[in-house]
Chains A and B, each alone.
Chain A
């Protein structure tokens, strides 16, 4: 009897839930609700985005946008589930490292048709256009900005040590950082990256050393078709780079990832940091160092006097399963032009996608000045495309990170590392 009751209760509950949960259906009056999912979420950015969405909704009263902001560590997995199930997502944040898999699986819509008459194309920078239209002319996402590296440095310490200015090359950095290193006082030269994504800066160093032979369409390839890891200059690069760790970095930086590097610089104990512009906002908050004590310098060059700027990017795309592709494209166009695009890039410290944004005061002053310098001299700071959209990119990250750590703890030699990386990419290109 009681059992039957409890079953009945369960059944009732289920029915009620089914009835109640018919959410986000269109109201039938022509109005549309878009679900938009973020990937590189952080609370401040979410707030900016919400503000822009509100502006969009005001312009388009028949469109409502529901922003979904999962924690960034879990976001891509959630997005995958949503895209795979073909449910709950119209506009999605696509990263250069996810666009490959997502489009291969048919999860992303090609927006070329919807955006054909968009007049915003004219104002996109060359780089932005390059990423927004792939080799086959498809538009799976429109970038909202770029991440690029520059060198954060302590003006006061560099001056006190008797140097004229910030290091320009990797060799300079090694010299200055070594001079500033004083572990007894908890003062370190360089915020070395040994933890997650350790490979990225190793690759940047190698690229700087082979900059004048690099294939600009594939920054891991030399113009002669071999990998950059096979070049003899790569050995010099590694030597300098790992000397930085031995001579001028905190010993525990074997395990340092992004947060440790940034904290090391922000709390005043490390003098140099190679990072994205995002860090500017964090360092500005620091109580430990004042605005007069730090600045940024352009990315370090190699012996040839050139460097390769590794471009990382992300943007907005439309889910193939979306029933509102038209409206989704409208939102993406709105975010990729005019004030919305500028606001988003400035508030999130991104290298902008709009040609006229680079002219704005914001990017000419303070810590941003080095980005302008790099932008204005594309012969020295060459932008070449890393193969970040390969389907094995995350596998590569894991492999190369682990091997960098093996070199740091003495389980692998620098030559073995280069051989391994060379073999890996040569092999992948063969099967491609």
Chain B
């Protein structure tokens, strides 16, 4: 099937993918163009689809006025560490949920799903108090701990699917060779599932990267702020600083796009490899 494509089918495919690309990328284009406009030119009418004067003023301002470099580093650090640990921990729990059968399993999975349903503000007050008592407010490590917890349920459910489809025979063989169960997990199964794990990592990373609510509540000092907090800082009660915000958004998108570009192969292969072929 994959090798036969009629001409009309080919045209439809190219047309569809082309149109979708334009629809998706247009807002990105708009952000980029806005980021290079001067403040006055942003508020102009009729709309200009191409700036008359290219200005890098907005970008310069980000690093001069706001410590944008610090924010990016913070976000990179916090998201990466949280995503790595969340993925590791989820691998363990997902492994059990896929390989063992026990009475509370269904309830456990439902408990993980419920975390996706409950609005976060309900937990915010008690969480903040707890973090104050643990002296983890305004502390990167504290935010990382919470992000790990937030990422675990979804990635457990997701990784469980991959494990379920890796043949038992693999670890059986490893365990006969004298590996413990955890040894079998890390030495034998993980390499097979590497792509799937990358996909889970990406999901976790992006979730942390975009998280605003907890970050605003728990971080105080400029040196601890993350990107979403900085981006929202450009929205004041009476104005939106479009130039700075667009420039900041562009800088925010770049790292994640690079990550996607590297990982897009893994995401596809990852979910694939988890699924078939024993």
Contact = CB atoms under 8 A, between A and B. Distances in A.
B180 A1 contact: yes
A72 B43 contact: no
B234 interface: yes
Interface in B164-205: 180, 182-183, 186
Contacts of A213: none
Contacts of A22: 135
Given A1-B180, A35-B220, A88-B138, A258 B229 contact: no
B236 A42 contact: yes
A17 B132 contact: no
Contacts of B238: 42, 258-259, 262, 276, 278-279, 282
Nearest to B241: A43
Interface in A55-110: 66, 68-74, 77-78, 81, 84-85, 87-88
Contacts, number: 125
A196 to B, nearest CB: 10
A73 B217 contact: no
Contacts of A285: 39-40
Interface string B28-48: 000000000011110111100
Nearest to A13: B141
Nearest to B230: A71
A223 to B, nearest CB: 33
B103 interface: no
A17 B142 CA distance: 8
Contacts of A41: 233, 236
A43 to B, nearest CB: 6
Instruction: Give the interface residue-count category, chain A.
Output: 35 or more
Interface residues of B, number: 47
Contact of A263 (B43, B124, B220, B232): B43
Interface string B228-258: 0100111111111100100000000000000
Interface string A23-54: 11000000000010000111101010000000
Nearest to A278: B238
B45 A77 contact: no
A288 B134 contact: no
Interface string A320-352: 000000000000000000000000000000000
A330 to B, nearest CB: 21
A40 B233 CA distance: 10
A287 interface: yes
Contacts of B221: 66, 68
A2 interface: yes
Contacts of A47: 65
B43 A288 contact: yes
Given A43-B65, A78-B217, A266 B141 contact: no
B125 interface: yes
Contact of A71 (B40, B124, B129, B229): B229
Nearest to A39: B237
Contact of B40 (A3, A269, A287): A287
Contact of B220 (A43, A88, A276): A88
B216 interface: yes
Nearest to A75: B216
Interface in A2-30: 2-3, 13, 16-18, 20-24
A23 B138 contact: yes
A66 B38 CA distance: 32
Nearest to B220: A68
Nearest to A35: B220
Contacts of B232: 71, 73-74
B239 A267 contact: no
Contact of B43 (A40, A66, A68, A287): A287
Interface of B: 38-41, 43-46, 65-66, 124-125, 128-129, 132, 134-139, 141-142, 145, 180, 182-183, 186, 212-213, 216-217, 220-222, 229, 232-241, 244
Given A41-B233, A41-B236, A279-B238, 19 more contacts: A1-B180, A2-B186, A17-B139, A18-B134, A40-B237, A42-B233, A43-B66, A45-B236, A69-B222, A73-B232, A78-B217, A85-B128, A87-B132, A88-B138, A267-B43, A269-B45, A278-B239, A282-B239, A287-B40
24 contacts: A1-B180, A2-B180, A17-B139, A18-B134, A20-B139, A21-B139, A40-B236, A41-B233, A45-B236, A74-B217, A74-B232, A78-B216, A81-B124, A81-B128, A85-B129, A85-B132, A88-B220, A258-B237, A259-B240, A262-B239, A267-B44, A282-B239, A285-B40, A288-B45
